């Protein structure tokens, strides 16, 4: 069982060396990091320059590979002294005495007129970003050479480094003279990358030849990150040079990717320049996707353009809803179509960038959790393995090339929280880099983090990012603000105010009343009262700190000791598995008759000003007719509950309220909790289908002689009414099943025959003989029906009447281009593909609905039904079984019950009471108000009193 922190406070108070780090110690770590950076930089300059990279084991240069298929080397090696280019923006911060000579060498020696094929993305983030950042650094310097000398802090260096800078003993330096040449090089490189944007889709090719352009027969395959992470560099290049092509093309590429998102706002990993997603069709936040999301939030900051911010927050909501596990800690790959986790399911080292992005976005709580997983990975292996099978708790890919993502996230979280825990994380990283990767002339790649086997390569990001972010962490350097960001390669870029574009009048109107704020991090405290805040509990004292450890180490006490080897956990408790509230969902407003269980609210997808209008003075949105309005609701980063984020096509921005002024709502207050969130069933489950060789007449699987052959897995959405899908508990294992449960043995799945070529929709009663079931049989079974023909509630009641334990609803088939839509399907709003959660309203006291809670309903996609029917047609003597598992732990069926809206955080902090607010489960919708002269709020509060 998991240990829980209990009665540990007194122990922690006795460990000041664990909880604090002196300024002197932090300065020592800063200076040690600077020394390591100088070691790597000078090793490159002595042994490898002007080659692109250093061989740190043999202390020699690394050149392009004659094998063109070795893209791992050749994508980056452009014969342009890439390591020198990549560290240009770091030198003024850590090694300023080397900066003047480095700028001179780049300005006078580097040429991009090279007959080499390189990757557009890598050349953009490493070379173009470094040049633009250096140009801005030079532009900021005083014109006077003496003042430049002081501004670069060259007067503070007591080390003779004349081999780096020949005029070291002079007290003046005119490095600003190279400002124009550096921008000229950036412009030249940018133009050489433009042939990649030939496709009419706007999605660029991944590679070009710097001299000849696009090569004949070039692969159309690229990735989301590669095609969509050019915004920052290309936009700044356009505005500095006046050539709009770069920004326009990067903008088109970013939107071209986004416009091909799934119905759930998920993006795939691999895409072709022709605009179609390629196999394997996975979504997530790791390799191939990472920086697309990063550039969305950063472009919004640097360019002050809410186009990118809006896209980012929409994509982030999808990530939090579908990619994140319900405990809030793991972000795993997921199939974009079936919304099914990958098998095997991995997390990779590149996804360690996520906490940094979450801090920038304002979601510090999620950043803390995701960072803790990577922290335990680093703790366990003394490095960050490239790929980790998180469900099996073992490595898939053992290498570590010195990647910076985890270090970057540690830096951002320290800036956001000021918790010294992150300084100690940095100290551990610094120690491991020094002892495991440092060589005589640089830093080696770890080929195997377990054995310590090294590889003869030093990637440029080891200097330009990894050691830079460590230095910034210990130097306590705030991250940039005010239209300034670090690129995905760690180069600081800023958009000067004079080059910012003013938003259109329409956008200014839509943003009226907007009040964007970054949620303030509030650490947990204990022992507080109204007059005292109590004692601050650091990250290591969180109740879920040990849970994050268990995700990597396992459920025993492995890794449960802190640095001084004294235990701070208590054996007597059990730690609950945390459950995060649903991040985003939609509700449809409608004053329906609650006594009519078959009433379906009409949907108005594009409400006009007669229903929704924005107050030109306050910016708040007013609803005067709720009928059919679809509201998008999202979790607030401050943890207080939810906000309405959209009304149909209208985006609700932070600070804007939604006010309902429809008198029809008078008789419908207080509005009850929205059932999709209040339901104790997990919103999604993993379905496992099996086939058995028993005769079809033997409907009971208990009599099957074999264990069944697994046919396929699929994801299903649970209904918000009917039987609750909760896990079985050990005492029930030997008892006969009384309802459809998670972890229960497989139940027979009955597929009724088609009538007149149409699948059975479950709207009318049928005989058990027609289904092939013995009248005397009392064994449970699940009935498969197709969507349409009647309401979900009617289907469930029909199934209950014939004794079914569960009902599997198969969704509508996809609509082909040009295919007419039937009136029935149009009335159902059945245009969408993918999963939905069936819902129904009924009076539980009405005897007509006494059997509703006896039957469970799960909804899955049309393609799953087609596959199952095809399999049965191939062998009609077999019978099918269906089993349901927890989607986040398919191998662990005995999971604790999934609560409704209760989070592990809710017992740590006082929760908003929700007085006067509309509630979703236990949480309020903070920016939604209902007001009318005759309408009063919940708890008797009036809108004016809020």
Mean pLDDT of all residues belonging to the chain: 83
Distance CA 153, CA 94 (A): 11
* Higher pLDDT pick, 566 / 425: 425
What pLDDT does 741 receive?
83
Active-site option among 86, 233, 386, 861: 386
Contact 416, 364 (CB under 8 A): yes
Q: Partners of 629 in the beta sheet?
A: 589
Q: Is 122 a catalytic residue?
A: yes
- Per-residue pLDDT of 921-940, as tens digits, reads 778 889 988 775 333 333 33
- In the numeric block, which tokens belong to residue 896? 């604790």
DSSP label at residue 652: P
pLDDT (average), residues 889-895: 36
360, pLDDT greater than 70: yes
Query: Sorting pLDDT into bands at 50, 70 and 90, what band is 891?
Result: very low
Q: What is the pLDDT of residue 532?
A: 58
pLDDT at 899 over 80: no
Extract the tokens encoding 612.
Answer: 């929704």
- pLDDT at residue 124 is higher than 60: yes
Q: What residue numbers does the annotated binding site for Ca(2+) cover?
A: 488
| Structure confidence at residue 8 (pLDDT) | 33
Taking the C-alpha atoms of residue 895 and residue 576, their distance in angstroms, rounded to an integer, is: 11
Q: 10 Å Cβ neighbour count for 210? A: 22
Closest C-alpha to 291, from 341, 238, 374, 360: 360
**How much is the pLDDT for 817?**
57
> What are residue 936's DSSP bridge partners?
none
Is the confidence at residue 256, as pLDDT, over 90?
yes
854 or 156, greater pLDDT: 854
Cα–Cα distance list, 103 to 49, 52, 82, 137, 257 (Å):
14, 16, 13, 11, 36
The predicted pLDDT at position 664 comes to 74
More confident residue, 221 or 671: 221
CATH class of 680-886: alpha beta
| pLDDT reported for residue 258 | 98
β partners of residue 747: 882
Catalytic residue among 75, 86, 122, 643: 122
Does the structure show a pLDDT above 80 at 534? no
Q: How far apart are CA 808 and CA 752, in angstroms?
A: 12
Extents of the domains making up the chain: 24-53+344-484+522-580, 64-219, 584-674+910-945, 680-886
**pLDDT tens-place string over residues 585-644:** 888 776 665 556 566 666 777 788 888 999 988 899 999 888 888 899 999 999 989 999
Q: Which one-letter DSSP state was computed for residue 495? A: -
Instruction: Name the band, by pLDDT with cuts 50, 70 and 90, for residue 729.
Output: low
Check pLDDT > 90 for residue 735.
no
Poorest-pLDDT segment among 166-180, 291-305, 762-776: 762-776
Q: Is the pLDDT of residue 563 over 70?
A: no
pLDDT of amino acid 216 = 93
Alpha helices for 398-486 (secondary structure H):
405-417, 421-436, 461, 467-475
pLDDT at 18: 43
Average pLDDT over residues 773-778: 65
Which has the higher per-residue pLDDT, 475 or 913? Answer: 475
Does 405 qualify as catalytic in the annotation?
yes
Distance (Å, rounded) from C-alpha 39 to C-alpha 854? Answer: 70
Q: Is 756 a catalytic residue?
A: no
Return the pLDDT at 596: 60
Residue 117 structure tokens: 């094929």
Q: Which member of 52, 75, 247, 290 is catalytic?
A: 290
Asked if residue 277 has pLDDT above 60, the reply is yes
Q: Which three-class secondary structure string do you get for 245-305?
A: HHHHHHHHHHHHHHCCCCCCCCCCCEEECCCCECCCCEECCCCCCHHHHHHHHHHHHHHCC
Higher pLDDT, 870 or 357: 357
Q: In terms of C-beta density within 10 A (0-12 exposed, 13-18 middle, 19 or more buried), how is residue 129 classed?
A: buried
Q: Which of 52, 306, 327, 405 is catalytic?
A: 405
Main-chain phi, psi angles of 224, to 5 degrees = -60, -45
52 is catalytic: no
User: 641-665: per-residue pLDDT in tens?
Assistant: 999 999 988 999 999 999 888 877 6
């Amino acid at each position: 069982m998991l240990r829980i922190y209990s009665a540990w406070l007194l122990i922690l108070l006795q460990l000041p060396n664990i909880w604090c780090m002196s300024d002197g110690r932090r300065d020592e770590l800063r200076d040690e990091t600077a020394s390591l950076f100088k070691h790597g930089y000078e090793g490159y300059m002595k042994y490898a320059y002007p080659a692109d990279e250093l061989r740190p084991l043999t202390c020699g240069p690394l050149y392009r590979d004659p094998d063109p298929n070795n893209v791992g080397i050749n994508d980056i090696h452009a014969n342009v002294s890439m390591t020198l280019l990549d560290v240009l923006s770091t030198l003024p911060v850590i090694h300023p005495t080397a900066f003047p000579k480095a700028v001179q060498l780049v300005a006078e020696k580097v040429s991009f007129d090279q007959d080499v094929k390189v990757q557009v993305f890598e050349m953009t983030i490493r070379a173009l970003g470094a040049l633009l950042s250096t140009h801005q650094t030079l532009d900021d310097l005083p014109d006077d050479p003496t003042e430049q000398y002081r501004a670069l802090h060259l007067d503070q260096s007591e080390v003779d480094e004349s081999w780096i800078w020949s005029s070291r003993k002079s007290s003046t330096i005119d490095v600003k003279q190279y400002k124009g040449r550096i921008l000229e090089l950036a412009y030249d490189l940018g133009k050489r990358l433009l042939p990649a944007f030939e496709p009419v889709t706007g999605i660029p090719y991944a590679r070009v030849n710097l001299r000849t352009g696009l090569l004949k027969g070039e692969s159309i395959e690229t990735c989301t990150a590669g095609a969509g992470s050019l915004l920052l560099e290309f936009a700044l290049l356009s505005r500095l040079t006046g050539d709009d092509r770069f920004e326009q093309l990067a903008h088109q590429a970013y939107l071209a990717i986004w416009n091909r998102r799934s119905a759930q706002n998920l993006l795939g990993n691999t895409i072709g320049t022709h605009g179609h997603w390629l196999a394997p069709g996975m979504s997530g936040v790791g390799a191939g996707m990472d920086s697309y999301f990063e550039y969305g939030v950063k472009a919004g900051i640097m360019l002050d353009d809410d186009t990118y911010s809006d896209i980012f927050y929409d994509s982030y909501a999808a990530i939090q809803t579908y990619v994140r596990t319900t405990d809030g800690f793991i972000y795993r790959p997921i199939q974009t179509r079936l919304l099914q986790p990958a098998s095997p399911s991995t997390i990779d080292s590149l996804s360690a960038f996520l906490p940094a992005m979450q801090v920038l976005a304002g979601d510090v709580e999620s950043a803390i959790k995701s960072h803790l997983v990577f922290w335990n990975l680093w703790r366990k292996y003394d490095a960050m393995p490239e790929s980790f099978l998180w469900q099996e708790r073992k490595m898939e890919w053992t290498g570590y090339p010195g990647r910076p993502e985890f270090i970057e996230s540690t830096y951002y979280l320290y800036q956001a929280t000021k918790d010294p825990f992150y300084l100690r994380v940095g100290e551990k990283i610094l120690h491991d880099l020094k002892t495991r990767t440092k060589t005589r002339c640089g830093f080696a790649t770890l080929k195997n983090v377990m054995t310590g086997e090294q590889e003869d390569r030093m990637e440029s990001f080891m200097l330009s990012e990894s050691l830079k972010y460590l230095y910034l962490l210990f130097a306590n350097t705030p991250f940039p603000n005010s239209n300034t960001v670090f690129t995905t390669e760690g180069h600081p870029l800023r958009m000067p105010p004079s080059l910012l574009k003013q938003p259109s009048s329409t956008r200014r109107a839509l943003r009226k009343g907007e009040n964007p704020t970054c949620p303030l991090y509030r650490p947990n405290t204990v022992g507080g009262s109204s007059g005292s805040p109590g004692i601050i509990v650091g990250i290591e004292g969180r109740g879920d700190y040990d849970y994050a450890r268990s995700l990597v180490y396992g459920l025993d006490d492995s890794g449960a000791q802190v640095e001084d080897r004294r235990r701070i956990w208590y054996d007597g408790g059990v730690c609950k598995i945390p459950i995060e509230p649903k991040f985003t969902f939609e509700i449809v407003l409608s004053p329906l008759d609650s006594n009519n269980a078959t009433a379906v609210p009409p949907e108005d997808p594009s409400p006009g000003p007669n229903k929704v209008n924005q107050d030109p003075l306050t910016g708040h949105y007013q609803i005067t007719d709720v009928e059919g309005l679809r509201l998008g609701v999202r979790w607030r980063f401050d943890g207080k509950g939810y906000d309405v984020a959209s009304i149909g096509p209208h985006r609700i921005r932070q600070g804007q309220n939604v006010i309902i002024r429809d008198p029809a709502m008078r008789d419908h207050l207080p509005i009850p909790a929205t059932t999709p969130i209040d339901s104790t069933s997990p919103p999604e489950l993993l379905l496992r289908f099996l086939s058995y060789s028993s005769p079809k007449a033997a409907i009971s699987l208990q009599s099957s002689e074999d264990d069944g052959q697994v046919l396929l897995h699929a994801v299903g959405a649970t209904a918000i009414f009917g039987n609750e899908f909760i896990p079985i508990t050990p005492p029930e294992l030997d008892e006969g099943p009384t309802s459809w449960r998670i972890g229960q043995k497989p139940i027979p799945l009955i597929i009724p025959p088609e009538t007149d070529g149409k699948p059975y929709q479950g709207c009318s009663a049928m005989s058990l003989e027609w289904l092939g079931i013995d009248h005397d049989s009392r064994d449970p079974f699940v009935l498969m029906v197709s969507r349409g023909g009647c309401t979900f509630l009617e289907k469930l009641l029909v199934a209950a009447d014939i004794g079914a334990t569960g009902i599997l609803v198969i969704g509508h088939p996809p609509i082909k281009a040009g295919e007419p839509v039937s009136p029935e399907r149009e009335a159902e709003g059945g245009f969408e593909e993918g999963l939905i959660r069936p819902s129904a309203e009924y009076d539980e006291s009405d005897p007509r609905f006494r059997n509703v809670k006896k039957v469970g309903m799960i909804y899955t996609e049309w393609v799953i039904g087609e596959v199952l029917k095809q399999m049965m047609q191939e062998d009609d003597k077999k019978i099918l079984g269906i089993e349901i598992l927890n989607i986040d732990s398919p191998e662990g069926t005995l999971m604790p019950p999934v609560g409704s809206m209760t989070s592990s955080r809710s017992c740590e902090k006082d929760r908003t009471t929700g007085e006067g607010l509309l509630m979703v489960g236990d949480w309020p919708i903070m920016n939604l108000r209902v007001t009318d002269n005759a309408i009063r709020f919940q708890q008797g509060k009036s809108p004016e009193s809020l």
